[in-house]
Amino acid sequence: MWKKSFGTFMGIWAVISHGWLLLQAYKIFSEKDASGISAIGFSVVLLGAIFWFIYAAFVMEKQDFRMMTSSGVGFSLGIVVLIGVLKYNKKPLPKTAALRCE
């Protein structure tokens, strides 16, 4: 009985726990400032969300809806934050050898 209740709680928590991304997006767009937030760091967060979704949807023997929902919400909110970072970050992106188009 407790496992089912805990599973329900974790399904709800999986979505709520991404609330920090919503707060971050609100702060970026309301202040029109994303200084101090790394586009590369949020790209890694998005990549992780994609990997978790693929794992939950295709690798696990039984698809895990909670994990797919959580990673989908995290990816969606992460995209919003990344758009804000790219739009409002005052610092230019680093020019590394891999990013140069010379």
Asked if residue 92 has pLDDT above 70, the reply is no
Mean pLDDT of the chain: 83
Asked if residue 100 has pLDDT above 80, the reply is no
Please choose, from the candidates 43, 38, 53, the residue with its C-alpha nearest in 3D space to the C-alpha of residue 79: 43
Per-residue pLDDT of 2-58, as tens digits, reads: 888 888 888 788 778 888 889 999 999 999 999 888 888 888 888 988 998 898 888
Under 8 Å between Cβ of 41 and 82: no
Per-residue pLDDT of 51-71, as tens digits, reads: 988 988 888 888 888 888 888
- pLDDT given at position 61: 82
Which pair of structure tokens corresponds to residue 102?
A: 């010379």
Alpha-carbon distance 50 to 46, whole Å?
6
- pLDDT given at position 27: 93
- pLDDT given at position 66: 81
* Domains annotated on the chain, with CATH: 14-88 (1.20.1280)
